[in-house]
Homo-oligomer: A and B are copies of this chain.
Amino acid sequence: MSTENFPSDFANLSSLQQKLLHELRQNSARAVMFHQLISEKMGLNATDHKCLDFLNRTGPVTAGQLAQLTGLTTGAITSVIDRLEQAGYVIRDKDPNDRRRVVVKSVPEGAARISPLFQSVAQSTLQIISQYTDEELQLILNFIRQCNDMTLAEMNKLKEE
């Protein structure tokens, strides 16, 4: 979020509250930029990367199902699958349960190429976490969970507008 877009009554915040809001905004920006960098390293754009994420969670699905899951049009999803296939992250294959249906599935070699990009950040995250007591971690967990639920609720409000 962007503190410079905050309502003017936010000027009454304590220095600590202002610092935290600033750091949360930075956190959001870092996540977006990290995601973009990983996508670039994968030779994908952010939408392709996100569709691959969905596919990794669902297992093999048809192009139509993937369009529905992601909210993209069937035209857009075809281009996404073409790029993912060309970059070697997915293949189109016949559904073993229904040979007339073509499904898209992710390729283990693709996942193996992505995994190392996350290993270092995972180790570093764990190193930070290990500095805190269980009681402190529980407090942080509650806070992050509240923020995540709130962001989802705010997105749903925005979508309805």
A contact set with B: CB distance below 8 Å: 1-7, 10, 13-14, 16-17, 19-21, 23-24, 26-38, 41, 46, 50, 53, 56, 114-115, 117-126, 128-129, 132, 134, 136-141, 143-148, 150-155, 157-159, 161
Contacts and interface: CB of A to CB of B under 8 A. Distances in A.
B158 A143 contact: no
A-B CB proximity, top 8 nearest: A31-B31, A5-B118, A28-B31, A30-B151, A121-B154, A5-B115, A6-B122, A23-B144
A140 B27 CA distance: 12
Contacts of A38: 158
A2 B36 CA distance: 15
A148 to B, nearest CB: 5
Contacts of A117: 5, 158
Given A50-B32, A128-B150, A152-B30, A140 B140 contact: yes
A148 B3 CA distance: 17
Nearest to A5: B118
A81 B5 CA distance: 22
A58 to B, nearest CB: 13
A108 to B, nearest CB: 13
29 contacts: A1-B118, A1-B125, A2-B118, A4-B56, A6-B119, A16-B134, A17-B126, A17-B137, A20-B141, A23-B144, A23-B148, A27-B31, A29-B53, A30-B147, A30-B155, A31-B31, A31-B151, A32-B32, A32-B46, A41-B158, A120-B154, A120-B157, A121-B150, A124-B150, A124-B153, A128-B150, A139-B139, A140-B140, A140-B143
